[in-house]
Structure 1
Amino acid sequence: MKKENQSEFGLIGLGTMGSNLLQNIADHGYNCSGYDNNYKKVDALNQLDRGNIHGFANIKDFVMSLNVPRVVMMSVPAGKVVDIVIEELVGVMEKGDIIIDGGNSHFTETERRYKDLEEKGFLFLGMGISGGAEGARKGPSMMPGGDKKAYDTVATLLEKIAAHVNGEPTVAYMGARSAGHFVKMVHNGIEYALMQLISETYEIMKEGFQMNDNEMHAVYEKWNEGRLQSYLIEITRDIFAYKKPGEKLLLLNDIKDEAKATGTGKWTSQAAMDLGLPVPIIDISVAMRDLSKYKDLRVKASTMYPGSQDIKYGGNADKYIAKMEAAYYFGMMSAYAQGMHLLYHANEEYKYGLNMDLIAKIWRGGCIIRSEFLEDIFAAYKKDSKLKHLFLDNSIHDNLIMSLDGIRAVVSDASKHGVAVPAFSAALSYFDNFRSAEMPANLIMAQRDYFGSHTYELTGKEGTFHTEWEDANN
């Protein structure tokens, strides 16, 4: 039973993300409590001087401030810290209370924690949150999975604080156990791919056409007004306009070209490999971030292997930008398609109960990969909830065909001029193999049988076969 002035929601971890989320919750009329073992962060929260936000530096006092059944969300770094906080909470909370992990935990860890807390009588949600600090404050996209009863308890609150698209909240119950964190992991894998594709368009414009910053800004600005409209293109446009006060050059030009990563892209690739499912555009995007970290080796190699003397592209830059726009659209479709294909098969393997159109629906707003194209994805799964792959949708088929000349031109020209476009290349190669009724994998099977007696299957015949290949050469 709720007592007057008791909080309806508690949050652990009062960094920028956690503090912003609490303010978002308070904006919607809820009493809420925040806990952190850093006194400065607690003081900063209390200095907001809002009557319905209360900061605590003592975890027992924090828990006692909450209405029963207590709802506590963690906004802490993934890994051991999550287990430490859960252990503390179990010691001061009661059976039937709800614990939510709102960080980027690996789905296997969420699976373990869900089962452990279920055995102890606690309700657990693993909830992916996308949108960054600004999203937390103004409305994120949220992907909760786990105990359905727990979700039903917090659903109204989450729907109020989420971003809204066409009046609909960008939050929904994803499915059983670790489903929420699996969906968020794939979201981040797609994010890696889209960012790599955008960086490759930057490379072509900068190195291939030697365009200046203002010209590139204009391209991204125009793209964001058309079918490429998305959060990532929007912020890229803004990056190409940002200068520090008093500076003449873009801040971008002073940033070191070594990309960091939190690990979620790598997890996506690993999960796909475990399921035997290809996501090459995500794989190569992770690999290129890793390669960027070897700056010293790249600098040395650049002196040993100088680039093409004719790296500058010829012809009309404006006309080529249209080809590049088509190429990016193609690559973007491939990134989403590969990610959704992974979700489809993970759902079959892990019995999550995922709803594919619902995932596309809540990604349309609040999250980092929100884009105009997600409306097409939502429509495709709404039309056919059992669609196995986005490339098999008629509308997306038409868009791929119309964009094909553009990506072929971009990939071939980049190769000719010595400009690296690994994500575009991966997108195109994936498509060309996907549409092939026959792949050269039969040769691979013959090789495996030759050197390892791994056997092979024959077209139109049941069973497995083995050949003594050396005998044919005697």
Structure 2
Amino acid sequence: MAKADIGLIGLGTMGSALALNIAEKGFKVAVWNRTTATTHEFAREAGALAANIVATETLEDLVAAIDGPRAIILMVPAGAPVDQQIAALDPHLDPDDMVIDAGNANFRDTIRRMTELSRPFLGIGVSGGEDGARHGPAIMGGGDPAHWARVEPILIAIAAKFEGSPCANLMGENGAGHFVKAVHNGIEYADMQLIAEVYGIMRDGLSMAAPEIGKRFLQWDEGRLSSYLIETSAAVACAHDEATDGPLLDVIVDAAGQKGTGRWTAIEAQHLGTPIPVIEAAVAARNMSAQRPLRADLAERFGGVDTLDISVETLEAALTCGKILCYAQGFDMLRAAAVAFEWSLKPEVIARNWRAGCIIRSAMLDDMAAAFEAAPETTLMAAPYFADILTETIGALRATVIAANGAGLPVPAMSAALAYFDTMRQARGTANMIQGQRDYFGLHGFVRVDSGAMDQHGPWADD
């Protein structure tokens, strides 16, 4: 029997889907799972694809089943399980065999593993959920170009395609792939929160029923907001619950889960000194959503919300504006990381890589790629195409935030987007007061506007 082209460890939801995708594209894949019964059940249920799947019972069998030099994908939970799996696998491998971590790893762990291991190692972000893994995800690689080249044919074959172009690229060195995936997820958090806030305004401020909201989302999906998340939101809002004979959305508990990647993005942004307030607001909103008993108590004490007078057309424009500002922050963070970690990140490549397969795929990404290709160092807000849209829609965002605040409706991500825009368009802000305060109580010094002189102090320094 011919040996396998690649190996895969971990047959959970994502691992199983990815293995079937590899097999379907004509590659033979050897698989191993900690529970042997799971491995054999997976192979039995693979149907016509079973001919391209080699089920193995031990790590030694897995390694023996793969043609050398080997490449083995790890699809195990991030963190300690990855280190444990590498330690168990390593004694069976030859020096040129490569390990590929395709989980949601923290990019700093990826950098550490590449430093510690004396073998080829890739860290790749895989976006698109189970359906993407099975039928074509967006793949973001990080590591040595020579190591990427060894598995590139397989990764390109299994990746999503946008008009024939594969959404699988080497983003940059060491942890770059997992970092790009984390920022992708941060943008995902923000985009979802912005949509949820608009849903909340329509539900609580305009008294619209879920199916009616879903129809609006379907209409929006035909225009600038066309994206997987708007499509998903429409499907969720229109879904019917058989048990209550009403909208399914109305019986879903309002506490959002999270796996940590959005939080990592917010933390790393602080390290980089890069403002991403919309993403930070989205992470905070998920944390607040989990505090249901407290929210219920406070609702009794302080009351509910008022209706408001705003059109759904204004909400559509506001959501468009917020979305652009959210993406602008994410790409600015990627640009800062490229400098800080000496990565060769290219924003236009990243934008194109996200056009299909991933959760944040959107009609806007093609225009974003074109904007970055024309001016790679320019923030998205200043790119002519998007600057024109922001000029057109910022009034709608402002009106939405004002109306929502007046009615007592929470719009943390939209508020953060508006505050960010207003802050960034002020040539002279208010940090001069902060610098004066810092000098007053700590003699930290300040820079003078008129002369440019540094380390200056106020008259209090003589006291």
TM-score (norm 1): 0.95
How far 1:398 moved relative to its partner? 0.3
How far 1:468 moved relative to its partner? 4.3
**Take 2:42 and 2:56, find their aligned partners in 1: how far apart are those partners?**
9
In the TM superposition, 1:428-467 aligns within 5 A as 428-459=418-449, 460-467=451-458
How far 1:277 moved relative to its partner? 1.1
Q: Which runs of 5+ in 2 are unaligned?
A: none
Counterpart residue number, 1:324: 315
Contact 2:106–2:178 (CA under 8 A) maintained in structure 1: yes
How far 1:464 moved relative to its partner? 1.0
Contact 2:3–2:28 (CA under 8 A) maintained in structure 1: yes
Secondary structure of the structure 1 residue equivalent to 2:172: coil
Q: Structure 1 stretches (4+) deviating beyond 6 angstroms? A: none
Q: Do structure 1's residue 281 and structure 2's residue 271 form an aligned pair?
A: no
Point out the more displaced range, 187-196 or 31-40.
Answer: 31-40
Counterpart residue number, 1:18: 15
Contact 1:45–1:54 (CA under 8 A) maintained in structure 2: no
Contact 1:197–1:331 (CA under 8 A) maintained in structure 2: yes
Counterpart residue number, 1:62: 62
Counterpart residue number, 2:235: 238
Structure-2 change in CA distance of 1:300 and 1:470 (3 Å): farther
Point out the more displaced range, 240-249 or 128-137.
Answer: 240-249
**Take 1:143 and 1:109, find their aligned partners in 2: how far apart are those partners?**
16
How far 1:112 moved relative to its partner? 0.2
Q: Which of 303, 306, 313 is equivalent to 2:308?
A: 313
**Take 1:41 and 1:87, find their aligned partners in 2: how far apart are those partners?**
22
Deviations, residues 105-149 of structure 1 (Å, cap 9, x unaligned): 1111111001112xx2x1111100000000011100000101211
* Identical counterparts, % of pairs: 39
How far 1:95 moved relative to its partner? 0.6
Aligned residues: 459
How far 1:251 moved relative to its partner? 2.1
Residue type matched to 1:444 in 2? I
Deviations, residues 244-279 of structure 1 (Å, cap 9, x unaligned): 456511222111111111111111011110011110
**Take 1:44 and 1:251, find their aligned partners in 2: how far apart are those partners?**
33
**Take 1:152 and 1:245, find their aligned partners in 2: how far apart are those partners?**
50
Secondary structure of the structure 2 residue equivalent to 1:210: coil
Instruction: Give the alignment's Cα RMSD to 1 decimal.
Output: 1.3
Q: Do structure 1's residue 254 and structure 2's residue 251 form an aligned pair?
A: yes
Counterpart residue number, 2:294: 297
How far 1:470 moved relative to its partner? 7.8
Deviations, residues 64-99 of structure 1 (Å, cap 9, x unaligned): 100101010101111100000111121111111111
**Take 2:394 and 2:367, find their aligned partners in 1: how far apart are those partners?**
18
Contact 1:128–1:144 (CA under 8 A) maintained in structure 2: yes
Contact 2:444–2:455 (CA under 8 A) maintained in structure 1: no
Q: Do structure 1's residue 139 and structure 2's residue 130 form an aligned pair?
A: no
**Take 2:17 and 2:396, find their aligned partners in 1: how far apart are those partners?**
42
Residue type matched to 2:360 in 1? I
Residue type matched to 1:312 in 2? T
Contact 2:20–2:134 (CA under 8 A) maintained in structure 1: yes
Q: Which of 122, 125, 135 is equivalent to 1:125?
A: 122
TM-score (norm 2): 0.97
Counterpart residue number, 2:403: 413
**Take 1:352 and 1:395, find their aligned partners in 2: how far apart are those partners?**
27
How far 1:39 moved relative to its partner? 2.3
**Take 2:226 and 2:158, find their aligned partners in 1: how far apart are those partners?**
24
Residue type matched to 2:161 in 1? H
Contact 1:344–1:388 (CA under 8 A) maintained in structure 2: no
How far 1:461 moved relative to its partner? 2.2
Q: Which runs of 5+ in 1 are unaligned?
A: none
Point out the more displaced range, 47-56 or 218-227.
Answer: 47-56
